[in-house]
Amino acid sequence: MLWSKMQTPHCEDFKQWCRRRLPILEWAPQYNLKENLLPDTMSGIMLAVQQVTQGLAFAILSSVHPVFGLYGSLFPAIIYAIFGMGRHVATGTFALTSLISANAVERLVPLSSQNLTTQSNT
């Protein structure tokens, strides 16, 4: 009885399902390169300069290696570009999450005498 009520999936149903879950499939085909590429590139460069310095600072605040701050700045922006629904959302590293993670790191990881801001060959 339950099987008779089920419909066979169609290609259009799958496309609609993907568009609802991946908003990039909705706006990317309609993106106007000539009109939007330069302003989007400039805003991307300005955001990158701000996020790199902020990510490094918050990684040091979190008591982890600074490269993890760069990962924390880069990957949320890429993931949000693919899966995000809102147009005006800030992603990346924040002071509150850095302080909370620093508390966890300091409790779980033993203190190291190594300075994280200098390179070491060990």
Mean pLDDT over 53-76 rounds to 83
| Position 62 confidence tier, pLDDT thresholds 50, 70, 90 | confident
| Cβ atoms within 10 Å, residue 55 | 22
- Alpha-carbon distances of 76 from 33, 44, 59, rounded to whole Å: 24, 14, 15
Cα 29 from Cα 11, distance rounded (Å): 19
**Amino acid letter at 86?**
G
Q: Name the nearest CA neighbour of 54 among 10, 93, 106, 3.
A: 93
| Position 36 confidence tier, pLDDT thresholds 50, 70, 90 | very high
Scanning the structure block, which residue is given the tokens 């609802």? Answer: 20
pTM of the model: 0.59
